[in-house]
A = this chain, B = another copy of it.
């Protein structure tokens, strides 16, 4: 890709040789003359990159081709998608694949080794099922999806277009619901709903998205979910939500659009996270809690400001205790009542 093509792609202003050939993106520190890199600061950066994407107010020196853009990191991501497109596989249906006679497979589809596609399932054009991926019965998978190795979509679930399931991801396993009888034995509450994953969703490795108990579990378009996350039955996640690794979301909780959820967060059931909320890592959201727009932290979750203030108070406890001791001595040393002499430590026997 020529530098001037890059500038056009990212709507940037080029200075330097517009015909530099760029073949890869790279980290600014390790980049070589055939690489594009990006910097977010305005001063000179040390880099061997042939092309550097920088902010509009960049004032540093750079010997190679410089492209000024509003958002260098975003421009870099957009360029990377061009230079390093998703690996194409197929079209091919591997001889070892087991595709049900009633299933339909679109054009340009890759169905890899040791894959299964169940009865009445449909695989959209350009979708890749990598080795060991398995699709149950009555599943709908859209176009240009990638099911990485050993991922699984259970019966009756639906994936939109451009959905990525990373290795070992499980979509549509039973939710976790039981009813105890008088003897304390557990009877399975029906887990007969489904999962709907909308377009452009990415689901991390070994992440689990359970099917609805009676209704559906839904993940909105453009939402990105990291590895080892647990999404319980009937959870509703909006669009453009980001959820980091190892977070767990209990049944029927609703996360509205444009939320950012850190790693190892735990959410109780039937919580409601309002659009635009940001929840810090390891936070705990109690069942039924409503989390408004803003930044939240801690267990139980509270606004970040309150969390910080409370944390400061806890850190200050040693001093507070010391102050109270001094007050105690002061008061009792001036006391006229011998029964309250501090030597007798009357406060120590509450």
Contact = CB atoms under 8 A, between A and B. Distances in A.
A152 B176 contact: no
A245 B248 contact: yes
Interface in A242-272: 242, 244-246, 248, 250, 258, 263-264, 266, 268
A170 interface: yes
A226 B184 contact: no
A210 interface: yes
Given A314-B310, A350-B322, A190 B226 contact: no
B324 A324 contact: yes
Contact of A266 (B94, B242, B281, B318): B281
Contact of A74 (B181, B206, B313): B181
Interface string A70-93: 010110111011001001000000
Interface stretch (A60-68, A101-109, A120-128, A326-334): A326-334
A319 B350 contact: yes
Top 10 A-B residue pairs of the complex, sorted by shortest distance between their CB atoms: A80-B190, A313-B317, A27-B214, A173-B205, A230-B245, A176-B226, A208-B227, A170-B205, A77-B187, A264-B266
Given A25-B214, A188-B202, 10 more contacts: A73-B189, A74-B187, A149-B152, A152-B168, A167-B170, A176-B226, A186-B240, A230-B263, A310-B317, A320-B320
